């Protein structure tokens, strides 16, 4: 199977590339799924653009930026670990960085606060993310890396804290989500 190099022009990171190889082709297909594409219409910064007109970042742009940042962090880890680097763990973390916000709804965290008071399970973006990653077209795309890959990705996100150095790229005090410039 021939894979194609894909690129997204990002206003902050310039070109974010998805290389012509199996893993990144799978991530490109995940990016094309309805749950991820829906994030194009979800604002990252809520109503901030009413005060700061340039604050128009979407959860989609943030997800791409977080993946890009995670990949840079993973290169540092690979360089540091050398032969002890674990490619599967790195792939799980990179995939998790791309889909970490897939469960966000309109008005993001503001909606969650109201939804929790009303007892709405769908108001919890982490719960929705877990369901979408394990049982949607995202899971179907992840199957190219094995039947348990979607569960591995969902587990890293659900844990919410680093279990190892690779997980720390996704969830820690110094993770790709916090480092992504779209969140600023």
Express each pLDDT in 85-141 by its tens digit: 999 999 999 999 999 999 988 766 666 677 777 777 666 778 889 999 999 999 999
Given pLDDT bands bounded at 50, 70 and 90, which one contains residue 184?
Answer: very low
Question: Tokens for 123?
Answer: 């108001």
Is the model more confident about 177 or about 148?
148
pTM: 0.89
* SS3 call for 143: helix
Give pLDDT, residue 122: 63
Question: Tokens for 143?
Answer: 């199957």
CATH number of 21-40+57-183: 1.10.3210.10
Give pLDDT, residue 97: 96
Q: Sign of torsion, CA 69 70 72 73?
A: positive
**Catalytic hit among 62, 100, 125, 182:** 125
Domain coordinates in residue numbering, the chain: 21-40+57-183
Q: What is the DSSP string of 82-132?
A: GGG--HHHHHHHHHHHHHTTTT--TTHHHHHHHHHHHT-GGG-HHHHHHHH
pLDDT score of 150 more than 50: yes
Among residues 93, 105, 44, the alpha carbon closest in space to that of 67 is found at 93
Give whole-number Cα distances, 88 to 60, 96, 124, 148, in Å: 25, 12, 29, 12
SS (HEC) of 78-89: HHHHHHHCCHHH
13 a catalytic residue: no
Which of 17-31, 122-136, 149-163 is predicted least confidently?
122-136
Give pLDDT, residue 104: 85
pLDDT, tens digit (0-9, with 9 covering 90-100), for 39-88: 999 887 777 778 888 777 889 999 999 999 999 999 999 999 999 999 99
Question: Please, what is the Cα angle at 37 between 31 and 42, to 5 degrees?
Answer: 130
């Amino acid at each position: 199977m021939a894979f194609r190099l894909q690129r997204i022009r990002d206003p902050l990171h310039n070109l974010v590339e998805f290389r012509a190889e199996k893993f990144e082709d799978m991530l490109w297909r995940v990016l094309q799924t309805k749950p991820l594409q829906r994030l194009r219409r979800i604002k990252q910064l809520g109503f901030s653009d009413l005060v700061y007109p340039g604050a128009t970042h979407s959860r989609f742009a943030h997800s791409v930026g977080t993946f890009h940042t995670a990949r840079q962090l993973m290169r540092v880890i690979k360089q540091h670990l050398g032969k002890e680097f674990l490619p599967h763990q790195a792939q799980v973390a990179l995939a998790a960085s791309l889909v970490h916000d897939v469960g966000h709804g309109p008005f993001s965290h503001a909606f969650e606060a109201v939804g929790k008071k009303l007892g709405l399970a769908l108001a919890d973006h982490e719960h929705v993310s877990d369901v979408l990653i394990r049982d949607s077209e995202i899971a179907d795309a992840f199957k190219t890396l094995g039947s348990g890959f979607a569960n591995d990705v969902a587990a890293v996100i659900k844990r919410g804290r680093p279990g190892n150095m690779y997980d720390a790229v996704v969830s820690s005090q110094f993770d790709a989500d916090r480092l992504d410039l779209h969140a600023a």
